[in-house]
Amino acid sequence: MAVEIERKFLVSGEPWRAAASATRIRQGYLCGGARAVVRVRMAGERAFLTVKGEQRGVSRAEYEYEIPVGDAEEMLGRLCQPPLIEKTRYCLTHAGVSWVIDVFEGENAGLVVAEAEFSKEDQSFELPDWAGAEVTDQPRYLNVNLIAHPYRLWTAAERGETGGGPPRQRTGRP
């Protein structure tokens, strides 16, 4: 079984941009349930169909398949629930760990989230200076949930603007 082990963090500042390469992404969901979600993604000139299982801590099953671009465009336009997720994904490496930073657009403009994937759940790592609060265990940050409740509709408390958000974590230990 393919397993994704991923941790998510809010991003503060922009010093990461100088070392990053960018790809435009559009994605939508064919279904999104408690046990699994099925996503269609256009990433640059390539397209993918991805099935993700229920998240358990920082892990979940993930199966991804490249599909024809025309099929993906048709599914995004006809079958996926609006609004689509629109973002620019920046890729970079920090202290030997590959990171992606998603700068959301459209209905989720203003949200910037960094993700790192690991080979084991308890892997230690150096947290970059631009990584803020960890949001791995907060379902509202899952892309599938950003369709049902876009960032532009979040309250100040949901955005962490009331001072009651999680403390800034400075180590990469679980």
pLDDT band at 172 (very low <50, low <70, confident <90, very high): low
Displacement of CA 173 from its chain's centroid (Å)? 20
Q: Report the percentage of the chain scoring pLDDT > 90.
A: 80
pLDDT for res 156: 93
pLDDT at 140 over 50: yes
Token readout for 115 is 């993700």
Residues annotated as catalytic are 29
pLDDT band at 90 (very low <50, low <70, confident <90, very high): very high
Q: Which CATH class is domain 3-159?
A: mainly beta
